[in-house]
């Protein structure tokens, strides 16, 4: 069964600290996509990154970086030099197995509430 | 390019009533998915429509239904509302169904949601 676990319910840091959000997933498929979304208080889910299961190369985008490790089924997200505007709920998500559905169905983790204090 | 729009943004209903929520996808997008977000259950997939056909359905009772029109706009309907239906309902649109263009993937872009409160 598909499952995404974000063990950290809440994280509180002081501005400029680095913070890592953990994500562990379960899937029986070999072809899948992983995602991170940000949900600010306004409620809209903002897409941050997608990673293909065949591409384990880590990625850096500005202050954001992602570490994908198939061996441990983890897809962790690091924010460097956090800012108050980074305060939001962050969700990790996994696509449905190809072949069963169209693949649009996403399984989300429980979310991690990140609070960055000035 | 305008984003995904959802109407209404807020809604208050009483138990037993029915409600219809609307979602207009990004221009050119043909796939629309719906998700329910509650504090207890988190984000859960309701259904997906593509080319006016339901392609996927989540594990929700038959009181939850939807449809898609020829212009790709979608509506979801909840009949006989229960207190537990209080939630943020999010709609997402993408060019096509997710993995049909593998290895590329059509991102899902979410709307601001409709906050439904059932009293």
Is B100 or A60 the better-scoring residue by pLDDT? A60
- Say what percent of chain A tops pLDDT 90: 64
Each residue of B96-109: pLDDT tens digit? 754 455 555 667 89
Task: Give chain A's contact residues with B (Cβ, < 8 Å).
Answer: 31, 33, 37, 42-47, 50, 52, 54, 91, 95-96, 98, 101-111
Neighbours of B17 (CB within 10 A): 13
| pLDDT value, residue A96 | 75
| pLDDT value, residue A98 | 58
| pLDDT value, residue A56 | 76
Is B103 or A69 the better-scoring residue by pLDDT? A69
| pLDDT value, residue B2 | 79
| pLDDT value, residue B61 | 96
CA distance, residue A20 to nearest chain B CA (Å): 21
A5-14, A100-109, B61-70, B88-97: lowest mean pLDDT where? A100-109
Per the prediction, chain A carries an average pLDDT of 89
CA distance, residue B14 to nearest chain A CA (Å): 23
C-alpha to C-alpha distance for B48 and A102, rounded to whole angstroms = 9
Q: List chain A residues with CB under 8 Å of B103.
A: 52, 54
Q: List chain B residues with CB under 8 Å of A107.
A: 45
C-alpha to C-alpha distance for A70 and A100, rounded to whole angstroms = 21
Q: Residue A9 gets which letter from DSSP?
A: S
Residue of B42, B98, B103 lying closest to A102 (CB–CB)? B98
Residue B6 has pLDDT above 60, yes or no: yes
Each residue of B13-66: pLDDT tens digit? 999 999 999 999 999 888 899 999 999 899 999 999 988 999 888 999 999 999
Q: Which residue spans within B1-119 are E strands per DSSP?
A: 5-7, 10-13, 19-24, 31-38, 42-50, 53-57, 64-68, 74-78, 87-94, 109-110, 114-118
Q: List chain B residues with CB under 8 Å of A44.
A: 90, 110-113
| pLDDT value, residue B1 | 65
Q: List chain A residues with CB under 8 Å of B90.
A: 43-45
Q: What is the mean pLDDT of the segment spanning A14-30?
A: 94
Residue of B nearest to A101 (CA): B56
| pLDDT value, residue A50 | 85
Query: To 10 degrees, the CA torsion angle through B97, A68, A36, B40?
Result: 100
Q: Helix or strand or coil: residue A33? A: strand
Is A81 or A1 the better-scoring residue by pLDDT? A81
Each residue of A82-92: pLDDT tens digit? 999 999 999 99
| pLDDT value, residue A100 | 45
H or E segment to which residue A83 belongs: none
């Amino acid at each position: 069964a598909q499952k995404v676990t974000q063990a950290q319910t809440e994280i509180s840091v002081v501005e400029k600290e680095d913070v890592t959000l953990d994500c562990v997933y379960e899937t029986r498929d070999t072809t899948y996509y992983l995602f991170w979304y940000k949900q600010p208080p306004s409620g809209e889910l903002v897409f941050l990154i997608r990673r293909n299961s065949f591409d384990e190369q880590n990625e850096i985008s500005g202050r954001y970086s992602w570490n994908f490790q198939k061996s441990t089924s983890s897809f962790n997200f690091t924010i460097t030099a956090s800012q108050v505007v980074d305060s939001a709920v962050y969700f990790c998500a996994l696509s449905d197995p190809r072949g069963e559905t169209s693949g649009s169905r996403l399984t989300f983790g429980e979310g991690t509430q990140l609070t960055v204090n000035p | 390019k305008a984003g995904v729009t959802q109407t209404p943004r807020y809604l208050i209903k009483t138990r037993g009533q029915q409600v219809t929520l609307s979602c207009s996808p990004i221009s050119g997008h043909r796939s629309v998915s719906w998700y329910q977000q509650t504090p207890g259950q988190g984000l859960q997939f309701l259904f997906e429509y593509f080319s006016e056909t339901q392609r996927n359905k989540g594990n929700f009772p038959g009181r939850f239904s939807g449809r898609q029109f020829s212009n790709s706009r979608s509506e979801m309907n909840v009949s006989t509302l229960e207190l537990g239906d209080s939630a943020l309902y999010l709609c997402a649109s993408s060019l096509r169904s997710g993995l049909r263009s593998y290895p590329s993937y059509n991102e899902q872009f979410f709307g601001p949601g409709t906050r439904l409160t059932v009293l």
